[in-house]
């Protein structure tokens, strides 16, 4: 945990008029305050934070400040979220949420395959974010209704949602500090003989902009994997993310020659399986990937918490077929 979270914050009654006090960590010393706030509150754009500074919503060591002012280790920043965030609130829509755990600060839920996490190009409604706003309208005061990480549309599994700003900041910093533990079950093509890791930078594909790829100039990415079961034509693995790049597991497993079964983007040309295997993969109609375990340090109690879920029925059905699959 960084210095910004070294003290307990009392946020039992936080609303738009309550300040959120943050201590500048060592790694942001010497930064402009607007840049520092972007790092501390990644859910808000730099332009919005700059405007809030100009409007007097941000104080540095108790004084009004300007966007270009430098901050140093131990400086105290106070942010009051203006009510204007309501103007950009997304539409609340009733969506079934499979909630695994909820308390005053976090929601842990099991996202189903097929549900987009937040609105974007081509998906402006019926997303998890729309459903969260319907479930709890107070989430409109938190960036992206508390969503601090995401799963691909066709990946099911556990996600954590922050219910207030201090929790949001805490969880973002935990993700950056890699204290959030995310474990995935995956079924990959081919036979892996021993556990290992993939450390290869990821960025946008140089020519296919809707895809990610291992690129020398990309962002650091590290995935660990253990073997759970060897099948005739596939391997069941447990993947542990050390970083959280877009499509990381899918890209890394493709990179080592073992793409995820059923992956329509990174799976490549389907091997010549028997007809039952091909039918099962078509029926799955998604990549064989599930976020089955999630662990984190609770933002309020500072105790480590962990949740897990059983494998989804469609993935269990696929495994049963793959246990008897063969190449033609």
> Given 152, 226, 263, 274, which residue is catalytic?
152
Domains in the chain (CATH in brackets) are: 3-86 (3.10.290.10), 89-177 (3.30.2350.10), 181-322 (3.30.2350.10)
Report which of 92, 74, 91, 66 is spatially closest to residue 21, judged by C-alpha positions.
Answer: 74
Query: Which strand (E) or helix (H) includes residue 185?
Result: strand 181-189
Q: Confirm whether 152 is a catalytic residue.
A: yes
Residue 194 is predicted with a pLDDT of 95
Report CA 228 to chain centroid distance, whole Å. 24
| Assigned token pair, 193 | 């003989």
Task: Round to whole Å and give the CA distance between 167 and 146.
Answer: 9
Query: The dihedral of CA 193, 197, 201, 202: what is its sign?
Result: positive
- Tens-of-pLDDT digits for all 328 residues of the chain? 333 332 222 222 223 345 677 889 988 999 999 999 988 877 677 888 888 888 778 899 988 899 999 999 999 998 877 644 443 557 899 999 999 999 999 999 999 999 999 887 667 789 999 999 999 999 988 888 999 999 999 999 999 999 998 899 899 889 888 899 999 999 999 999 999 999 999 998 988 878 999 999 888 999 999 999 999 999 999 999 999 899 999 999 999 999 999 999 999 888 999 999 999 999 999 999 999 999 999 999 999 999 999 999 999 999 999 999 999 9
């Amino acid at each position: 945990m960084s210095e910004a979270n070294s003290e307990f914050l009392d946020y039992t009654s936080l609303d738009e008029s309550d300040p959120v006090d943050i201590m500048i960590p060592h790694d942001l010393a010497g930064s402009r305050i607007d840049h520092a706030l972007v790092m501390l509150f990644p859910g808000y754009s730099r332009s919005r934070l700059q405007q809030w500074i100009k409007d007097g919503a941000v104080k540095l060591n108790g004084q009004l400040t300007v966007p270009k002012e430098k901050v140093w280790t131990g400086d105290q920043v106070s942010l009051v979220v203006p009510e204007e965030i309501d103007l950009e609130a997304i539409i609340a829509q009733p969506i079934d949420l499979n909630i695994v755990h909820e308390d005053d600060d976090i929601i842990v839920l099991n996202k189903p395959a097929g549900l987009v996490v937040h609105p974007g190009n081509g998906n402006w409604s019926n997303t998890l974010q729309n459903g969260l706003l319907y479930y709890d309208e107070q989430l409109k005061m938190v960036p992206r209704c508390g969503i601090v990480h995401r799963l691909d549309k066709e990946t099911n599994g556990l996600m954590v949602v922050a219910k207030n700003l201090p929790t949001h900041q805490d969880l973002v910093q935990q993700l950056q500090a890699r204290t959030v533990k995310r474990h995935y079950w995956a079924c990959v093509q081919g036979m892996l003989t021993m556990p290992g890791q993939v450390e290869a930078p990821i960025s946008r594909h140089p020519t296919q902009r809707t895809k990610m790829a291992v690129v020398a100039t990309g962002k650091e990415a590290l995935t660990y994997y253990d073997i759970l079961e060897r099948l005739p034509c596939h391997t069941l693995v447990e993947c542990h993310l050390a970083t959280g790049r877009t499509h990381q597991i899918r890209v890394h497993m493709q990179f080592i020659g073992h793409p995820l079964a059923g992956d329509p983007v990174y799976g490549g040309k389907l091997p010549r399986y028997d007809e039952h295997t091909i039918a099962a993969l078509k029926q799955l109609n998604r990549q064989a990937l599930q976020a089955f375990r999630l662990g984190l340090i609770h933002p309020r109690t500072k105790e480590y918490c962990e949740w897990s879920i059983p494998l989804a029925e469609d993935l269990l059905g696929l495994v049963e077929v793959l246990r008897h699959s063969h190449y033609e």
